[in-house]
Amino acid sequence: MFEQVKLTYDFNSLEPHIDELTMQTHYGKHHAAYTNNLNGALERLPDLKGKTIEEILIQLEAIGDPGLRTTVRNNGGGFYNHNLFFATLSPQGGGEPQGSLGSQIKSDFGSFEELKKTLSTQAASVFGSGWAWLSTDKDGKLLVTSTPNQDNPLMTHGGKLTPIFGIDVWEHAYYLKYKNVRADYIQALFHVVDWEKVAKLYQQAR
Ligand code: MN3
């Protein structure tokens, strides 16, 4: 049984950047539904018992039944992506990453401002629903990509990339407060990114 990450902050504590109702709905309804649907599908896939979600998503083609494979892709992706998303937000977030992540950003993008621009542009250009990602490869090099729907870099790069931060640009992530102005949501989100957490994930991924 996969479980939603426990939030270390209250639904209203990311205000005014992310509003309480969006957090309640996003975590309590959308993320909960992905998690339940994933667990439901896995009951019918006993071969996957004991595997981590990363192992499952990297090897989706191991699921023979096309319907179940799609269910695991969409809901397993939704489960994993939101666990990462909610774990990397914090009321004390914002600012810039320090340490080895900070220096790698300077070496790969020139500056944190440049990384922020690249991530924001990727997030703004996703057509329809999807995500923009900051990932690392095994050598610690950072990459910005985007994916449609609930796909993620584990799936697109066969486990060679590990996502360490993602921007959810599904309308359910911002529409209640920002309506059609996705760019404002993206800018606001940077005020609540927990870069210390992202830096830890960067260390663990290498
Ligand atoms: Mn979402």
Q: How far is the CA of 158 from the centre of ligand 1 (A)?
A: 22
Residue 206's pLDDT is: 80
Give the C-alpha separation, 98 to 188, whole Å: 20
Its pTM stands at 0.97
Quick check: 32 pLDDT over 90? yes
Q: What is the pLDDT of residue 203?
A: 96
Distance (angstroms) between ligand 1 centre and the Cα of 26 equals 6
The pocket of ion ligand 1, defined by CB under 5 A, consists of 168, 170, 173
Q: What is the pLDDT of residues 149-198, one digit of tens each?
A: 999 999 999 999 999 999 999 999 999 999 999 999 999 999 999 999 99
Residue 50's pLDDT band, with cuts at 50, 70 and 90, is: very high
| 3-class state of residue 197 by DSSP | helix
Q: Is the pLDDT of residue 51 over 90?
A: yes
10 confidence band (pLDDT: 50, 70, 90): very high
pLDDT digits (tens, 9 = 90+) for 104-160: 999 999 999 999 999 999 999 999 999 999 999 999 999 999 999 999 999 999 999
69 pLDDT band, cuts 50/70/90, is very high
Query: How much distance in Å is there from the Cα of 84 to the middle of ligand 1?
Result: 11
Fold match, 20-87 / 99-205: no
Tell me the CA distances in angstroms from 146 to 26, 127, 167, one per residue in order: 20, 10, 9
Ligand 1 center from residue 170 Cα (angstroms): 6
Alpha carbons within 13 A on the beta-carbon side of 25: 13
Does the structure show a pLDDT above 90 at 71?
yes
Question: Ligand 1 centroid vs 107 CA: distance in angstroms?
Answer: 31
- The CATH number of domain 20-87, selected from 1.10.1660.10, 1.10.287.990, 3.90.110.10, 1.10.3720.10: 1.10.287.990
Domain boundaries, the chain: 20-87, 99-205
Check whether 201 has a pLDDT greater than 90: yes
Which residues are registered as beta bridge partners of 118?
none
173 C-alpha to ligand 1 centroid (Å):
5
d(CA 27, CA 25): 6
Q: How far is the CA of 147 from the centre of ligand 1 (A)?
A: 13
Give the chain's mean pLDDT: 97
Handedness of CA 177, 178, 182, 186 (dihedral sign): negative
pLDDT score of 52 more than 90: yes
Q: Per CATH, is 99-205 categorized as 3.30.750.24?
A: no
Residue 101: strand, helix, or coil = helix
